[in-house]
């Protein structure tokens, strides 16, 4: 099975120490082929992007705190929400879980020494860096005020050079995503050690595998779209621009044909993390393993067939709208099934309210709201009313931010001891999780009300005047004010989290090999793991049986029952 073992690529490295101490110097990181180091670099890079995108978000919220121009004019505001959206989507939530956490834990959970193609893996990371650099460069070029969706013909008007550069950036980021997906597919297919059957795979790996399939199949469409945009712009071929005989709605089809599956590139790995967090921190075998695994694959399949639900008001034919509405409901089923499975996993568990578990519970509540508010958006007549209002903004933040990013941060806490070898301050972690949860709901739940009352999205202002009555402005002012306050609360939570995580690197307690009592393979190796992950090929067991790990006070962690007795 292990025909592609990349062990020879590590031949020049030392054998002693863990993956952090085994070689030194900045170059040993920058040209590393070790999936763990690449994962750590992704963690740093995506969190830095998260900070940048978050600062744009705070700018947006501050502008909206009161009617009228508060801190920036309309042009600046439009750039802020465009960059917030583009950075958060393409630089943070798409790569964060597969690139950062996936890279670090996938091979270890699988029982492999590395991913199948370590050089390609490093290549993916540098493609990400180039794409990110182009995106940041585009900010200096100006004219990035199109929204992250780049809808034509607005985005192809003259004077928007920046759009070209951000398009190039997205094109290159797409390849980064494709290569990561390809690498994961081959790794899971080919590098499973003897005994690691498909139904012994941790559910996070099922989720990453399903994600990888979408990444490989859907992302090329994004590249094609960007090339068509470039062809239209440079050669003047009419594709999307009605002035040249093109059709702007065609662009929306292309865009969402990628970007809807991309929504599942974002949420599926998050669901995988939640399966791990809940079973481990409840120390209880996951309920309905096969249902969860198959529902990941089902979601991946359906994700290709629902893109048209972003376009119910675009003027596409009512028949198409009806078909897309029907298929959209079908995605709701596997998602609902997963939620029920996670909840039943808590039943008769031994639930510990550690920080990762609090994030997992946050996820369940937020994802429930995010999923249920998807229903009125799938029902055709109510979508017409809610489309392009704050209701949609709130809905996708509940799913993308409240679910994906919360799961990502939960996962980061779960594997933090493994990645860094240090324990963070548990008490601060729990406080941070609560602050983020409260801030998040304050920020975004009010936006559901704004949306149903008719506040359109991407509005710089809601001052009384042209088409805005004084009553409306007053009502929206209240909602916007609460929402902005919520965003500040959330920011406090995130900065607190950044503080204690960094602090743990300086003076955190040394982490035991298995602080939570997890039974998947990464908890078998030391924290941090050795350079080669495993000294001998591990013998995989079903990773959702926790009986053979027992608490040990001396270790302040869990040890195998057989070693504990001896």
Partner 1 sequence: MTLTTLLLLASDQPGPIDTGNGFWFVPAATEYADTHDWVYSIVLWLSVFFFILIVGAIVKFAFDYRRRSNLEAAGSGPTHNIVLETVWTVVPLLLSAGLFLIGIDTYADFKTAPANCYEVDATAQKWVWQFDHRNGASDSLVLKVPVGRPTKVTLRSNDVLHSFFIPAFRVKQDVVPGRYGSVWFTPREPGIYQGHCTEYCGTGHSKMNFYVQAIPADEFDEVIAKDARWIDDYSGDRLVWAGARLFSRCASCHSLKAGERMTGPSMWDLHANWGKKKKVEVDGKLTEVTIDENYLLESIVAPWEKIVPTYLNQMPANFGDQLGPKELDALVRFVRQLDEVVDANGEIRDEPENATN
Closest to partner 1 by CB, 68 or 195 = 68
User: Measured from the CB of residue 87, what is the shortest distance to partner 1 in angstroms?
Assistant: 18
Candidate ranges 11-19, 217-225, 247-255, 529-537; the one touching partner 1 (CB under 8 A) = 247-255
DSSP 3-state of 388: coil
**3-class SS string, 38-65:** HHHHHHHHHHHHHHHHHHHHHHHHHHCC
Choose which of 72, 365, 428, 564 interacts with partner 1 (CB under 8 A).
365
Q: Which helix (H) or strand (E) holds 518?
A: none
DSSP 3-state of 321: helix
User: Measured from the CB of residue 136, what is the shortest distance to partner 1 in angstroms?
Assistant: 22
Residue 343 found at the interface with partner 1 (CB under 8 A): yes
67 DSSP assignment: S
**Two tokens at 73?**
């004019």
Closest to partner 1 by CB, 25 or 318 = 318
**Two tokens at 131?**
């794409």
What CA–CA distance (Å, rounded) separates 168 from 170?
5
Burial (Cβ within 10 Å: 0-12, 13-18, ≥19) of residue 160: buried
Choose which of 55, 336, 428, 498 interacts with partner 1 (CB under 8 A).
336
Hunting for tokens 């909602």 — which residue is that?
479
CA 393 to each of CA 26, 321, 379, 445, 507: distance values in angstroms, whole numbers, following the listed order: 41, 21, 17, 10, 40
Residue 379 found at the interface with partner 1 (CB under 8 A): yes
Residue 430 found at the interface with partner 1 (CB under 8 A): no
Residues 41-100 that bind partner 1 (CB under 8 A): 73-75, 78
User: Measured from the CB of residue 497, what is the shortest distance to partner 1 in angstroms?
Assistant: 22
Candidate ranges 166-174, 180-188, 212-220, 240-248; the one touching partner 1 (CB under 8 A) = 240-248
Residue 326 found at the interface with partner 1 (CB under 8 A): yes
Annotate each residue in 134-153 with x if it binds partner 1 (CB under 8 A) or - if it does not, as one string.
-----------xxx---x-x
Closest to partner 1 by CB, 219 or 520 = 520
User: Measured from the CB of residue 492, what is the shortest distance to partner 1 in angstroms?
Assistant: 25
Annotate each residue in 542-561 with x if it binds partner 1 (CB under 8 A) or - if it does not, as one string.
----xx-xxx----------
Contact in structure between 396 and 371 (CB atoms under 8 Å)? no
CA 465 to each of CA 329, 449, 457, 462: distance values in angstroms, whole numbers, following the listed order: 40, 22, 18, 8
Neighbours of 326 (CB within 10 A): 13
User: Measured from the CB of residue 438, what is the shortest distance to partner 1 in angstroms?
Assistant: 15
Residue 382 found at the interface with partner 1 (CB under 8 A): yes
Query: Which residues make Cβ contacts (< 8 Å) with residue 25, sequence separation at least 6?
Result: none
Candidate ranges 50-58, 202-210, 281-289, 495-503; the one touching partner 1 (CB under 8 A) = 281-289
What CA–CA distance (Å, rounded) separates 128 from 514?
32
User: Measured from the CB of residue 68, what is the shortest distance to partner 1 in angstroms?
Assistant: 11
Residue 325 found at the interface with partner 1 (CB under 8 A): yes
Hunting for tokens 């020494």 — which residue is that?
113
Residue 520 found at the interface with partner 1 (CB under 8 A): no
Residue 237 found at the interface with partner 1 (CB under 8 A): no
- Of 445, 553, 433, residue with least CA distance to 493: 433
Choose which of 282, 299, 419, 435 interacts with partner 1 (CB under 8 A).
282
Candidate ranges 28-36, 109-117, 326-334, 530-538; the one touching partner 1 (CB under 8 A) = 326-334
- 176 phi/psi in degrees, rounded to 5: -55, -45
Choose which of 459, 481, 488, 534 interacts with partner 1 (CB under 8 A).
459
Residue 467 found at the interface with partner 1 (CB under 8 A): yes
Query: Which residues make Cβ contacts (< 8 Å) with residue 39, sequence separation at least 6?
Result: 99, 100, 101, 102, 103, 104, 105, 419
Residue 416 found at the interface with partner 1 (CB under 8 A): no
What CA–CA distance (Å, rounded) separates 479 from 487?
12
Candidate ranges 202-210, 254-262, 343-351, 418-426; the one touching partner 1 (CB under 8 A) = 343-351
User: Measured from the CB of residue 165, what is the shortest distance to partner 1 in angstroms?
Assistant: 19
Contact in structure between 95 and 46 (CB atoms under 8 Å)? yes
Choose which of 130, 136, 182, 249 interacts with partner 1 (CB under 8 A).
249
User: Measured from the CB of residue 220, what is the shortest distance to partner 1 in angstroms?
Assistant: 26
Contact in structure between 346 and 278 (CB atoms under 8 Å)? yes
């Amino acid at each position: 099975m292990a025909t592609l073992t990349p062990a020879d690529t590590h031949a020049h490295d030392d054998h002693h120490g863990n993956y952090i101490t085994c070689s030194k110097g900045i170059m040993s990181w920058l040209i590393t082929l070790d999936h763990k180091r690449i994962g750590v670099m992704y963690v740093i890079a995506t969190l830095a992007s998260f900070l940048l995108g978050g600062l744009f978000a705070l700018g947006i919220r501050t502008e909206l705190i009161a009617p009228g121009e508060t801190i920036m004019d309309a042009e600046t505001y439009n750039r802020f929400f465009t960059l917030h959206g583009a950075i958060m989507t393409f630089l943070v939530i798409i790569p964060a879980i597969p690139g950062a956490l996936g890279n670090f834990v996938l091979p270890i959970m699988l029982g492999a020494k590395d991913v199948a193609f370590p050089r390609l893996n490093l290549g993916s990371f540098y493609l990400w860096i180039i794409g990110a650099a182009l995106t940041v460069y585009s900010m200096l070029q100006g004219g990035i005020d199109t929204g992250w969706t780049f809808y034509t013909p607005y985005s192809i008007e003259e004077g928007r050079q920046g759009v070209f550069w951000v398009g190039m950036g997205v094109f290159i980021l797409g390849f980064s995503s494709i290569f990561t997906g390809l690498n994961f597919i081959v790794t899971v297919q080919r590098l499973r050690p003897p005994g690691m059957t498909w139904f012994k795979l941790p559910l996070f790996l099922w989720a990453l595998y399903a994600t990888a399939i979408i990444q490989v199949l859907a992302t090329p469409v994004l590249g094609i779209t960007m090339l068509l945009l470039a062809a239209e712009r440079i050669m003047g071929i009419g594709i999307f621009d009605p002035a040249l005989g093109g059709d702007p709605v065609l662009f929306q089809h292309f865009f969402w044909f990628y970007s809807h599956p991309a929504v599942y590139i974002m949420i599926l790995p998050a669901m995988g993390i939640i399966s791990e967090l809940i079973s481990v921190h409840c120390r209880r075998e996951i309920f309905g393993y096969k249902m969860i695994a198959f529902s990941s694959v089902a979601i991946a399949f359906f994700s290709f067939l629902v893109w048209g639900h972003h376009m119910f008001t675009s003027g596409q034919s009512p028949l198409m709208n009806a078909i897309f509405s029907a298929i959209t409901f079908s995605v709701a089923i596997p998602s609902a099934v997963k939620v029920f499975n996670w909840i039943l996993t808590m039943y008769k568990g031994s639930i510990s309210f550690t920080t990762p578990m609090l994030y997992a519970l946050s996820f369940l509540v937020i994802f429930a709201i995010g999923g249920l508010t998807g229903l009125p958006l799938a029902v055709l007549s109510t979508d017409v009313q809610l489309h392009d209002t704050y209701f949609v903004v709130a809905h996708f933040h509940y799913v993308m931010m409240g679910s994906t990013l919360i799961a990502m941060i939960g996962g980061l806490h779960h594997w933090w001891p493994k990645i860094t070898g240090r324990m963070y301050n548990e008490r601060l972690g729990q406080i941070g999780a609560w602050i983020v949860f409260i801030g998040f709901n304050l920020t975004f739940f009010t936006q559901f009300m704004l949306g149903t009352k008719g506040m359109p999205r991407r509005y710089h202002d809601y001052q009384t005047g042209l088409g805005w009555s004084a009553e409306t402005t007053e009502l929206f002012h209240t909602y916007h004010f609460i929402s902005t306050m919520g965003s500040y609360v959330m920011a406090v939570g995130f900065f607190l989290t950044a503080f204690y995580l960094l602090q743990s690197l300086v003076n955190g307690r040394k982490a035991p090999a298995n602080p939570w009592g997890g039974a998947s393979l990464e908890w078998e190796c030391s924290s941090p793991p050795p350079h080669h992950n495993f000294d001998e090929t591990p013998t995989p067991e079903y990773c959702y049986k926790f009986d053979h790990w027992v608490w040990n006070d001396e270790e302040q962690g869990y040890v195998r029952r057989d070693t504990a007795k001896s």
